[in-house]
Structure formats: C-alpha cells, structure tokens
A and B are shown apart, each in its own frame.
Chain A
Amino acid sequence: MTKTYLLLLLMLATVSSFAQKFTVSGSITSKTKGETVIGATVRIGKAATVSNEYGFYSITLEKGEYKLEVGAIGFEVNTQKITLDRNIVLNIGLVDESKELESVTVTSSTTRRSLGNTQMGVEKLTTKEIKNIPVLLGERDILKTIQLLPGIKSAGDGNSGFYVRGGAADQNLILLDEAPVYNASHLLGFFSTFNSDAIKDITMYKAGMPAQYGGRLSSVLDIKMNDGNIKDYDVSGGIGLISAKLNVEGPIQKDKSSFLITGRRTYVDMFLKLSKDSAVNNNKLYFYDLNAKANYILGKKDRLFISGYFGHDQLGVGETFGLGWGNGTATARWNHIFSNKLFSNTSLIFSNYNYKISIRSGANDFDIFSQIRDWNLKEEMQWYLNGKHSVRFGINSIYHTIRPGEVTASSSSSINSSYLQKRYSWENAAFISDTWKASDKINVTYGARLTAFSILGKGDFYNIDANGKVLDTMTYKSGEFVKTYFNIEPRAAVSYQYSSSASFKASYVRNVQNLHLLSNSTSSSPTDKWVASTNIIKPEVSDQVSIGWYKDLHNREYELTIEAYYKTMQNQVDYRDGADLFINSNAIESQLLFGKGRAYGIEWLLKKKTGRFTGWLSYTLSKTERKIDGINNNEWYNAKQDRTHDIAIVGSYQLNKKWVLSANWIYYTGSAVTFPAGKYQVGGQTVYYYTERNGYRMPAYHRLDLGATLQLKERKHWSHELTFSLYNAYGRENAYTIEFRDNKDNPNKTEAYQVALFKFIPSVSYNFKF
C-alpha cells in the first residue's frame, strides 16, 4: 500500500509546468429540465473530459482562445468560443435532440464514445436508448435490456437476475443513487425493481471497476435516478397490460429546487378479485414501487440531493400462505465545489431488504421474517489536478445488520417461536486512483482500494469439521471484534489510442466480496439468504485481466468493440448436498462447501448509434468453471451460468415520424445442468442416480421479439404514444425446467419432460406526457 502511495506521489511530483494555465469548470445540465447530464463529453482544443455523475467538469489548459464543444447522447451539440485568460466557471445547458429525422442522422464527434478513455468493460445505456426495445408485457426494464449486451447473461426466461463474465447473480453490485439494492426483482424475478420512468442513466462495469466501487466480485451496475424538472411541471404516465404508472416532477422553487415522484403498481390482482370463485379471489399477487427525489441548489458551490426508493411484492394463496418482500433505500448527497479543481460529494445511505412468510394453516400459525440492513457513509473527492492528472479519493464505511431468520408463532400454534442470532459487521474502505494523460496517445489509470471487513459480536461463532459438524462454539460480547479481514484491491488500466478511430486498452482489477447470497434454486427467490463473511466463510476474491480493441468504422457510423478476459475467483460458496435451507441453527456454515472458480471469454459488439436504423450485434464466446471441495469428486465442472455461445441482435428503425419498428433476437447455449445417469427403486418409488455435476446442457435458448411504437397526434404540452410488442414471436418453447417422472399411463417407464413459460406474449401499452 505504501508503495502505491509513493508511486503516486512520484508521478504527481514529476508533473511540473511552466506555462500559465487556467481552468474552465462548471456543470452540464439539460436546458429544458435542468437535469444534470452524466458523462457528457467536453472538448476544448485537444483536451477532453467527461462530466461526472453530478454533471460537473473541469479542464485546465494554457492561456488562449479555444473552441469548446459539449455533446451527450440525446442532446444537440453545444459549441462556443471561449477566451481562457483567467479561471472561468461555465455552466452549459444542452438542448434536447430534435425529433426531426434529418437531425438524427447528423453524427457528432462529441457524442461518440471516447477511445482515449482508460475505462474498459463498460456499458452505458440511457432510458432514451432502451425506449423502443420490445419487452415482456410492455414493461420497459433496464435489467432485461442490459442482458442483450455482451458478457451479461440472463439468468433465465423471465428472470431479471444476470451473470457477468462468469460471476454469479449475487456478485453484481447494484446501486440505485449509490444505495445497494439487495434483491432487484419483482414477482419472483419476472420484472426488475427499477421503474425506467424514474431512471436517468445506467452504467455497467464488467471489468476495470474504478476504485470508488467495491464489495462485489463481478460487476457494478450504477443506476442514477432523474433529479426532477427544475424549470417546469411534467406529468407523464402509462397504462400497460399488467401495470399502471405515473410520474410527476417539477420545481419546488424555479431554478433552485425540484422534486420527482414516480409510482408503479400492477393490477392483475384486481382481476382476481372480480372472480366469484372464492378460491381465486382470495389469492393475492401484486407489486408496487415508489421513487422519490428532491434536489436543492443551495448556492453556486453546493447542491443537495435526497432520494428514496420503496418497493414491495405480495403473494398470497387464500389465507393459508403469504409471502411479502421488498427493498427500501434512501440517499442524501451533498455536492460541494471546493474550488474549480476540487469537487466533493458526501453521501449518507440507507438500504434495507426484508421478506416475511406467513403461514396460517390450522395449528401451524406463524411468520418467518428475515432482513438485511445497511447504514453507509461515503466521502469522495475528485481533484482535477492539472491537464495531465485527475485524482479521485475517498472513504466509505458501512454497518451491516443481518437478521437471518425469525419465527414468530401465535400462542396456539404448534410451532415454537425461535430467533436465529443477528449478525453484525462493519465494512470500511479507503480508495485512491489517478488518471494520468501520459501522452497524446496514452492514458493510464492506476489506484487501489483498501478494505477492512470486521465481523462484530454479539453472537456465537463456530469451528466446524470437514463433515459440517460443529466442534466448538466461541461466544462474543456485543461490539466485540470477532475477526477483521484486510484486503488490498489494486486497479490499473491503460489505453493506447494509436489512430483517430482506434485504440487498445488493457486492465487489471481485483475485487473482494464479504456478503454472500446462498441460493439453491434454479431461479432467484426472495428467500435466498444473505450471509456475511465469518471466521469460516472467507471473503471472496476475484482477479480479472482484460484486453480490448476499439474501432470506429465506416465514417464513425459503427462502433466495434472486442474484449477478452480471464478471471479467477477464490473462496466461492456452495451448498452441501442435501443442505437444509431453513435450518434452525446459527451454524449456517455446517451447510456449506467452499472452492474456486475461473472464467474466460471473448466478447464482440458492433453498434450503430446514428441514423434511421440503430441497434447492435453482440456475441460472446466464453467458459465458466467451478471447483468446490466435496462436489464432483473435487474436479472442475461447468458452472450453471456457463454458456458457450451468447448472441443478441437488437435493431430499431424509424419508419417515419409516427412509427418506430423494433426487433431483437437472442440465442444462447443452454445452461449446464445435472441429469441422472440412472434410476432405482427406494421407498416404493422411482428415484434417480447422479454421477456428475452439471454434465449436461439445457436445450439452446432462442427467441424473437417484435415491437412497434406509434406516436399519436402531438399538441403543445401534450404527447402520447402506443407501444405494441410481441414477446417470443415464433413461439419457441424454451425449456424453463426439465424434470423426470414415471409415465402416467405406463408406470413401468420413466420419461423426461420440459416446462416452458412464455409462448407468444402480445402486449399493448399507452404512454402519455404533458
């Protein structure tokens, strides 16, 4: 660690400059709404930068006359002349890209991706871009849409879980306005918790994660909510087949403060209620979510954002069974500009996820409750040191409380109330990274993240033998440190832009994960268990090396990206055979096995971002394996997320001013699964004999979706549209599960059968805005 600091100091010290330099800084917003624009490209002469997550930019240059050009996706390019003879503050309002077709075809150099940027393995999407992509039941869903990009694999039909470069679904850090979201799915995974109406921008990091992010092995998905229109009131909404939503935003005080409230609720259960059959109208099935945000400009140098999310799912079968779960997050952030070169953000963040199962079946009358809750403080500084260096550094401290399971029974119940002990942990991190413009062609980002994960009392901890038997118990008092794991996570990336249209990049990243999700089912379940590292469960560690080649083709109409990666993962967690997921014991480790993983692959992405026709072609060739002590005779085997080929073709075509047509086609190799090698009779029934873990494949998955958006007659202050979609247009029966059973008519024979979920799902939805 000290070495890294020394190196950094040395590098900073070598940068001495003699010419007189000045800084231009400010924030970039949308002119119509006042929303800050993230990732806008700012070019002044030869220098370029991108606005940060709060729209702030800062560039330092020698004295002179310059042309300044600012561009961002969905906005027209802003060009102006500036005279740099002193430090200036220049706030820029970008005008929305006109809907006229002519202007869409204009390619601007500033809306292009930055070939010189060191960041690789990154995918960015704005809600404007995903608007026309056809989706299941017309529910626009960013988590579904990113699965169409290379290296990001869907966890299955109708599942919003995803796997990034061989990682498991819990190895993705999903942040909503900086708050970790622990379960990002609604309705057991068919929809994600993110209402796209409230979302401004998403960024997915598959490799080379910047040092300010940490805590998960495989990816970071950074989702930013809209700030709310600071100029004028906006009301928009939509009615789809399964849900209705409404978004209201506007100034609290014009140009000073704004608010945004977005809500969504499904209403299928209302149809259930219409049924006269009490067995049907007693069933419950719904979810809702609410996003709210307020933002205040406190002065020229200070800005305050307060945002929150609350979502809940409820599923009930008559009076007998109920399952409710949901996330809640809250974030308060304070931006302060110390100087035109030093930007600071302080965040106080709260995250909560919990579920509750209710059983009311005669004498079995009880509830099961489980929760994970975080308090999180983050301080981050961005220091635009000079034209050559910009440094980011900060600290982060999170206090986790996990309540693994609490059974509360009524006094007449035959179930006993019981409580698994609460688990406490404290996660601290310090990070620093420097982006260094080493030459006109070479940029380097290097840095590190130091993490300390402390497991705290009170509670009992265990020593366990190879068979999972508890050998002895150690009891710790409240606040006592059980163990602290220290880790250094080096991060490094370099880019070499050898021509105006092409560059090479390489990166190395180490990530550490101290919260682990235990899941033994094929799809995500709200009752999957989060556990923190303990004396036995070690922090998961991944190391990833990647290289990439980036090329703009055909007059910059097309972008080609090719990236290759190799990743190793240590201290991976899996359940033992026959593990009991609802065990009434504090020694969860007795149900677990540990091992390692490796993943490698190549990803191709060809993207067309401008013109009447836009879209992309994505192909991933990859391999993901696991080796767990106690599984598959301790030999390497294919992880369930291992899929050799993964293809997505996404396109949308602006037919005329009224119609946009779109389609996507997806193909991937079936997941690795375990099928029996034989069968035998036990207890009067046929059971199956297994020899090898994940030795088989599900059938290949493929699907075509079609969509069309019709812009209805527009008036001043009023626009509306109809969106049609057809999910799985050629009715492919993709296997959701494959199971084995005795043939009903001839019990002397066994058969395999598959269950498919979605076949031709048409939908229509209506969206309006005024």
Chain B
Amino acid sequence: MKNFGITRLALWVTAAFFFASCEKVIDIDLNSAAKKYVIEGVVSDKAGQSKVLLSTTKNFSDDNSFASVSGATITVTDNIGNITTFAETAPGIYTAPALVGAVGKTYSLSVTTNGNTFTAVSTMPQKVMVDTVFVSDELLFGDVTKLVNYAYQDPLGKGNNLRFVEYINGLQVKNIFLRDDDYTDGNYVQSKLWYMPDNNDDKYKIKQGNKIDIDIFCISQDVYKYWFSLDQSATGASQSASPANPVTNIKGGALGYFSAQTYQTKSFIVP
C-alpha cells in the first residue's frame, strides 16, 4: 500500500519497451566510517523469544558475518518496576528466557557497553491474529509468480501494524513486509506479501511442495516507522533520492530498534 515503487516500475517499463536496460557489478571506493553500535532488541509475548542482538557496523568491503559485541550489560524494566537482566548466550546474543511480555505493558531497555549507554522504551500493542494464509498465482510481467496471501480482521481504531517474515523451506525471503491500517481501519484485510523474485535465483521462488512459514509480529507505531524508513531508504535497493539511516526509537546514538511485540506463526505446504 505504502510504496508503489513508481521508479521501479519505470525500470520495468523501459526494459519491456526497449529490451535494453543492462545491469553490471561495479567497483566503488567507499569511505570507511567510525563503527557504530547496532541494537536489535525484542520483548515478545512468546516465551523464549525475548532477546537482544548487539553488534557494530562494518565496512562495505568486509564480509557479512555478524560483528558481535560481547560483555554488555543489558536490562529490561517493565512499567511496574520488574527488572530482567539479559545474559549473553552466544557472542552478541543476549537472552532472557523467563521474560514473557504482555499486551499493553511498557518496557524500558538499557544497554551499557564500553562506557556507552543506550536506552529505549516500547509498549506492546494489541495482538491481531492473521486467520488465513495461502498461496496464489500472480501474473507479473509475463511470469507466473506464486505469492503468499494473508487475511485478518483489523480491530477498530488506527495504529494496528503488522510485520511479516516469510520463509521458503526455512530460507528467509530478504524483504521487509509491513502492513498498517491507515487506509483499512476496522476492515477485514486481505493482502499479499509482494516481492519480485530474481529470475536467476530459484531458491526465492515459491514452488509446489515448498514449506512456507510466516512469522507475524504486531508492532507499535514507532517500530513500524523504523521498519518503514529502513525499507524506504537503507536496504541499498531503494530508489529514494536520499538514502538515510532509519528513524530509530533508541536514544544514545545506536542504530537499530527496540520492540515489544506479539508473535504468531503460520506454516503450510504449497499445494
């Protein structure tokens, strides 16, 4: 709904028109910058899912491995003052198996590492249940593409935001799937997880017999803003004239987000 991808469309149109657009990998000499901390903090309503990932940025030419940061002190405090300390269970991964969040509660995150302190606050939003998921065929520029459909009843009152993660045979589709209710408030919403699979990359194409898993998170407005702005301007594929860091809810100068969110998962085999 949000991103109509007009410029992307322009590229397709041109390609269709002139059969001429061509793509090639190039070398760009990118400057390196001082490292920044990256926090991906989650308090979930599902036991065992509350965790904080702490890492740093890397140079563009480095590999994509997780640049973990160990030895940080991480706590989450709820709105009645219960403090939970997260323990590092793998490098840069801090968990609190006992922390199960509840809808409507507000959580405060505190991360202290190497003399830096970062804080954030998040309130777990109302849980909206997706009741239907299935796969349908879509005709996209001459190719039949299978896409995942979903449906749910949106509760009355704006601000119900969903984020989806799609897995094909356990492989995560690297797209940010979001849904807000700005234009659909109070309705029975049916939509699709839209993406254009790369024609040469078969593993991201849904085929008969594939196992599909869909994780569904209900996220607060500021976390929605984070994912929305990340998708708009920091995924490297954006056509935005002004790429920028996403709008974070973390204070103290770290990248990333802190989200108190609900969790639901749906699985099926493509018929």
Contacts and interface: CB of A to CB of B under 8 A. Distances in A.
Interface in B157-194: 165, 172, 174, 176, 182-192
A736 B36 CA distance: 31
A294 B33 CA distance: 64
Interface in B14-53: 14, 16-18, 20-28, 30-33, 35-36, 38, 40, 53
Interface string A695-706: 110010000000
Contacts of A277: 142
A749 B24 contact: no
- Residue among B10, B14, B184, B235 facing the most chain A CB atoms (10 A cut-off): B10
B55 interface: yes
B66 A756 contact: no
Nearest to A740: B236
A158 B237 CA distance: 21
B25 A752 contact: yes
Contact of B192 (A361, A574, A755): A361
Given A279-B143, A318-B139, A675-B28, A414 B244 contact: no
Given A414-B190, A690-B244, A684 B60 contact: no
A542 to B, nearest CB: 21
Interface stretch (B79-87, B111-119, B205-213, B223-231): B223-231
Contacts of A696: 28, 30
Given A418-B183, A755-B21, A741 B28 contact: no
B201 interface: yes
Contacts of A679: 57-60, 62, 64
Given A414-B184, A688-B236, A691-B33, A748 B243 contact: no
A416 B14 contact: no
Contacts of B55: 680-681
Nearest to B66: A681
A755 B24 CA distance: 7
Interface stretch (B1-9, B96-104, B121-129, B262-270): B1-9
A283 B12 CA distance: 12
B139 A686 contact: no
B242 interface: yes
B48 to A, nearest CB: 18
Nearest to A753: B25
Nearest to B30: A675
Given A689-B57, A751-B25, A188 B244 contact: no
Interface string A750-770: 111111111101000000000
Contact of A279 (B6, B17, B142, B256): B142
Contacts of A280: 142
B243 A688 contact: yes
Contacts of B225: 578
A82 interface: no
A520 interface: yes
Contacts of A101: none
Interface residues of B, number: 94
Contacts of A689: 33, 36, 57, 234, 245, 255
A761 B20 contact: yes
Contacts of A418: 183
Nearest to A671: B241
A503 B223 CA distance: 63
B70 interface: no
A758 B233 contact: no
B230 A681 contact: no
Given A521-B7, A689-B33, A753-B26, A415 B201 contact: no
A267 interface: no
B90 interface: no
Contacts of A278: 139
A535 interface: no
A640 B7 CA distance: 17
Given A279-B141, A522-B241, A681-B38, A676 B60 contact: yes
Interface in A727-749: 733, 735-742, 744, 747-749
A285 B24 contact: no
Contacts of B201: 744
- Residue among A582, A676, A680, A752 facing the most chain B CB atoms (10 A cut-off): A680
A685 interface: yes
Interface stretch (A64-72, A243-251, A523-531): A523-531
Contact of A416 (B25, B144, B185, B238): B185
A755 B14 CA distance: 12
A712 interface: no
- Residue among A683, A733, A759 facing the most chain B CB atoms (10 A cut-off): A683
Contacts of B33: 677-678, 689, 691
A9 interface: no
Given A282-B139, A752-B26, A584 B244 contact: no
Contacts of B14: 158, 190, 757
Contact of B187 (A415, A677, A747): A415
B7 to A, nearest CB: 5
Nearest to A676: B60
B247 interface: yes
A527 B6 contact: yes
Nearest to B245: A690
B117 to A, nearest CB: 20
B234 A580 contact: no
A522 B66 contact: no
- Residue among A366, A685, A756 facing the most chain B CB atoms (10 A cut-off): A685
B244 A674 contact: yes
Given A677-B32, A682-B256, A693 B183 contact: no
B131 interface: no
B20 A317 contact: no
A298 interface: no
Contacts of A100: none
B183 A757 contact: no
A759 B20 contact: yes
A161 interface: no
Contacts of B239: 521-522, 737
A687 B234 contact: yes
A79 to B, nearest CB: 51
A472 interface: no
B20 A681 contact: no
Given A323-B6, A689-B234, 6 more contacts: A577-B242, A680-B67, A689-B33, A733-B22, A752-B28, A753-B25
4 tightest A-B CB contacts, nearest first: A578-B229, A740-B236, A677-B33, A363-B190
6 contacts: A578-B229, A640-B241, A677-B32, A687-B230, A738-B28, A748-B65
